[in-house]
């Protein structure tokens, strides 16, 4: 037929081919191997991969230089009317008894208190602390033993493939500490960005923590304990990005698997068949 000279996939007549048991076994193994690799690649293709990178920048420039903070802490031996939150930083902010977006829940029949608050801090070194500084009258022996349920910064990230220190102090238990001791939690806050497949970004903050416990005296010699959270920001930003393997790469890989497997299997079958034919000729030679 005209044009058949261009056919690079020329066919061999079936009566010129010879099926063998070895070829059948290799063919079955070859198909099973291709199926296994195909399923592995398909799983990788439909699974979202999260990659991370580090860079120096302030990722959330639209925040107005603020970071949202969520604090949840229980003081089982301090009355709610004595508990207060104070905030200060290097920009001159000094707020005693912060009450916006916060509430106090009595514990142990009013003996203790659970403080829950949402507030913002400036992106400069500073501190916020739970103390009795805002109380009308200072108690004689305030008990600052406590349990921290939550301390987080920025948006809450609940992503399966990201395991970061977004609530590093969650579960911190200081109930067996000296009741009159002050507690210093020194935090290094690391900006974190999470970008999903659609390009939407969420801004959060991880942090590392070191702590110490000590007894602090006022200028009058009285012990005035407090729970201090002293923070500083890292210039390094961690970015997590969701990625999925491109379709063209998946198709290329599948073609490579099929082509490579059949090629290797063909070479193996040819070697076995050639060796088998040579052995038969040797045996026939011995018989004659």
Report residue 17's pLDDT band, with 50, 70 and 90 as the boundaries.
low
Q: Is the pTM of this model over 0.85?
A: no
Burial string for 57-90 (b: 16+ CB within 10 Å, else e) reads eebbeeeeeebbbbbbbbbebbbbbbbbbbbebe
Q: What percent of the chain has pLDDT over 90?
A: 45
Q: How much is the average pLDDT of 126-146?
A: 91
How far is the C-alpha of 177 from the C-alpha of 174, rounded, in Å? 5
DSSP secondary structure string for all residues of 69-129: EEEEEEETTS-GGG-EEEEEETTS-EESS--TTEEEEEETTTTEEEEEEEEEEESSSEEEE
Per-residue confidence (pLDDT) for residue 83, from 0 to 100: 94
Helix (H) or strand (E) holding 27: helix 21-46
For 5-16, the pLDDT digits (tens) are: 565 556 666 655
Enter the tokens of residue 222.
């009285």
Of the candidates 23, 53, 13, 5, the one whose C-alpha atom is nearest the C-alpha of residue 241 is 53
How far is the C-alpha of 215 from the C-alpha of 222, rounded, in Å? 10
For 119-133, the pLDDT digits (tens) are: 999 999 999 999 998
The β-bridge relationship of strands 236-243 and 182-195 is parallel
């Amino acid at each position: 037929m005209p044009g058949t000279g261009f056919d690079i996939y020329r066919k061999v007549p079936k009566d010129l081919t010879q099926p063998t048991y070895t070829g059948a076994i290799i063919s079955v193994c070859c198909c099973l191997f291709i199926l296994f690799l195909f399923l592995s690649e398909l799983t990788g293709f439909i699974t979202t991969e999260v990659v991370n990178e580090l860079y120096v920048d302030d990722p959330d420039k639209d925040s107005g230089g603020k970071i949202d903070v969520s604090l949840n802490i229980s003081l089982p031996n301090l009355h709610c009317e004595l508990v207060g939150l104070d905030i200060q930083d290097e920009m001159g902010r000094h707020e005693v008894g912060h009450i916006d977006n916060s509430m106090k829940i009595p514990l142990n029949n009013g003996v203790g208190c659970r403080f829950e608050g949402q507030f913002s801090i400036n992106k400069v070194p500073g501190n916020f602390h739970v103390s009795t500084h805002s109380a009308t009258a200072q108690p004689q022996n305030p008990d600052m033993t406590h349990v921290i349920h939550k301390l987080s910064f920025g948006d809450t990230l609940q992503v399966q493939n990201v395991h970061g220190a977004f609530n590093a102090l969650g579960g911190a238990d200081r109930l067996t500490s000296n009741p009159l001791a002050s507690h210093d939690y020194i935090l290094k806050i690391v900006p974190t960005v999470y970008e999903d497949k659609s390009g939407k970004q969420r801004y959060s903050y991880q942090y590392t923590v070191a702590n110490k416990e000590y007894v602090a005296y006022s200028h009058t010699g009285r012990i005035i304990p407090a729970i201090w959270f002293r923070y500083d920001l890292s210039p390094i930003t961690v970015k997590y990005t969701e990625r999925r393997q491109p379709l063209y790469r998946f198709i290329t890989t599948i073609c490579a698997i099929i082509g490579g497997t059949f090629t290797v299997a063909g070479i193996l079958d040819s070697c076995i068949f050639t060796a088998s034919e040579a052995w038969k000729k040797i045996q026939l030679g011995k018989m004659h």
